[in-house]
Amino acid sequence: MDEKQQEIIMGLIINGGNAKGEAFEAIKAAKEGDFETADEKLKSADEFMAQAHNAQTGMLTAEANGDHAEVNLLMVHAQDHIMNAITFRDLAGELVDLYRKLATKQ
């Protein structure tokens, strides 16, 4: 694996982890009734996910152009981080909405 590919993979892991962390912070803020912060955290999570998505798109484009990437455990780990972050972000959005709905009924 060359240094450029390793940097891309580490970027995927970092951005996926940051997106998941921000989504978790959004849930915590919503639970406390701070929906402005929750919305900001979800937006931040989306920004981290966009960075990860752009890196993935670059890798997919290179692959489609015949520049085959070496698939190794680190690459699998990075993709796992991204998949978990996407799922967690989606769930966080639903939980923030649920807390918002509950707050309006109280």
pLDDT at 91 exceeding the cut of 80 = yes
Residues 31-50 have pLDDT tens digits of 999 999 999 999 999 999 99
User: Is the distance from CB of 97 to CB of 91 less than 8 angstroms?
Assistant: no
User: Is the distance from CB of 39 to CB of 86 less than 8 angstroms?
Assistant: no
Task: Tell me if residue 77 is catalytic.
Answer: yes
Could you tell me the residue ranges of all domains in the chain?
A: 3-105
Annotated binding site for Mg(2+): 80
Annotated binding site: 80
User: Is the distance from CB of 96 to CB of 38 less than 8 angstroms?
Assistant: yes
User: Is the distance from CB of 93 to CB of 35 less than 8 angstroms?
Assistant: no
CA–CA separation, 23 vs 88, rounded Å? Answer: 7
Confidence band of 2 (pLDDT split at 50, 70, 90):
confident
Task: Specify the fold of 3-105.
Answer: Methane Monooxygenase Hydroxylase; Chain G, domain 1 (1.20.58)
pLDDT at 106 exceeding the cut of 90 = no
Among residues 53, 68, 77, 81, which one is catalytic? 77
